[in-house]
Amino acid sequence: MNGDDGNRTTGETGPDEDAFADALLEEELRQAAAVLDPVPAELLQTALDAFALHDLDARLAELTFDSLVDALPVRGVMDPPRMLTFRAGEVTVDVEVTADGLIGQVLPPQAVRIEVLGGPQTASPLTADTLGRFTGETPPAGPFALRLRTGAEVIVTEWLRA
Amino acid sequence: MVQSAVDGDAAAWKALVEGMSPLVWSVVRAHRLSEADGHEVFQTVWFRFAQHLGGIREPDKTGAWLASTARHECLKVLRGLARLTLTDDPRVLDRASEDRTPEESLIDSEEAADRAERVRRLWQELDGLGERCRQLLRVLMASPPPSYGEISAALGIAVGSIGPLRQRCLRRLRARMDARGAV
């Protein structure tokens, strides 16, 4: 009968022994991963430092459109710009990232101060006009977020890898 | 812990990072990104988690949130590469991280050397298991052991299929190790 323990022919491996061997092997793999492929120390440190990015006063602008996911590839265009849209309530931020840099527009049009964050410790200002159009000379290298200061509030876009 | 971190407790944040980083890393590694891409994905996940900390409604799903965010970022990287190079050959992305040998870590005794040899073989055999098994096992071996909910979020597979898949993959690996041992 299946599943009847204590009633097993000697020499066969039963389900319990198999499960035990599976658990042992899994544990062995876990130890192997810890030795051969651990989390790199500098990454762990970056993650620890990321606590500084926890900002209670800023409003989060969520990613609502990402051309990498939401747009069909254009035939023949080898390196299309990355189009992103973030939204926080009634405020929308459109961003286009190309090899030459970054351009974008805050809607509704308004004067903002805006900077690009590159990590817990790096922020560099972008040029913005009174209508909320902004440009950056260099494309973000690695993860980035935009921090906007409107007259009334601070908005930060969701972190993203460019 | 999540609530304490929301309230500004840096020690709680540290505990979260240390407890969950191996899971996030395992998801990155399961997707075979290049080293630079993998590092950026890992950072992006933690930066975004810090941003969303106040909005996490179910603290016990934190692991699943991190795993799922890591998975989606990995898929974006792969999609971007495919678009850029017009190839989806996974071998292009195949980078082993074998600059450290187990022998460097465990060489006190002959017994340790044997163990190190077995660890090295286990690692090699993983690659021969096929993509599905390799991915599952890489996430499964995160420390502390991830829940099935976390594994599901990490790989986009149904919770109900994880148990049977785990069993099949571990047995296949064991069979390969046995076959090698016999030679």
Residue B80 to residue A143, Cβ atoms within 8 A = no
Tell me the average pLDDT across B81-107.
49
**Which helix (DSSP H) or strand (DSSP E) does residue B179 occupy?**
helix B159-182
Helix or strand or coil: residue A122?
strand
Tell me the average pLDDT across A120-144.
92
Q: Name the least confident of A73-82, B22-31, B53-62, B140-149.
A: A73-82
Nearest CA in chain A to B170: A22
Cβ-Cβ contacts under 8 Å, A33 against chain B: 22, 26, 138, 141-143
What CATH class does A56-161 carry?
Answer: mainly beta
Could you tell me the pLDDT band of residue A13, with boundaries at 50, 70 and 90?
low
- CA B23, distance to chain mean position in Å, is 6
- The per-residue pLDDT for A10 is 47
Cβ-Cβ contacts under 8 Å, B51 against chain A: 53-55, 60, 145, 156, 158-159
Which tokens belong to B21?
Answer: 């980083």
Query: Mutate which of B2, B13, B43, B76 to disrupt the A interface (most A C-beta within 10 Å)?
Result: B43
Domain boundaries along the sequence of chain A: 13-54, 56-161
Please name the amino acid found at residue B109: S
What is the DSSP pairing of strand A154-157 with strand A59-66?
Answer: parallel
Could you tell me the pLDDT band of residue B54, with boundaries at 50, 70 and 90?
confident
Which residues of B, range 142-171, sit inside 8 Å of A by Cβ?
142-143, 145, 166-167, 170-171
Cβ-Cβ contacts under 8 Å, B5 against chain A: 51, 54
Mean pLDDT of chain A: 88
- pLDDT digits over A42-101, tens only? 999 999 999 999 887 899 999 999 998 887 766 666 678 899 999 999 999 999 998 899
Tell me the average pLDDT across A16-36.
92
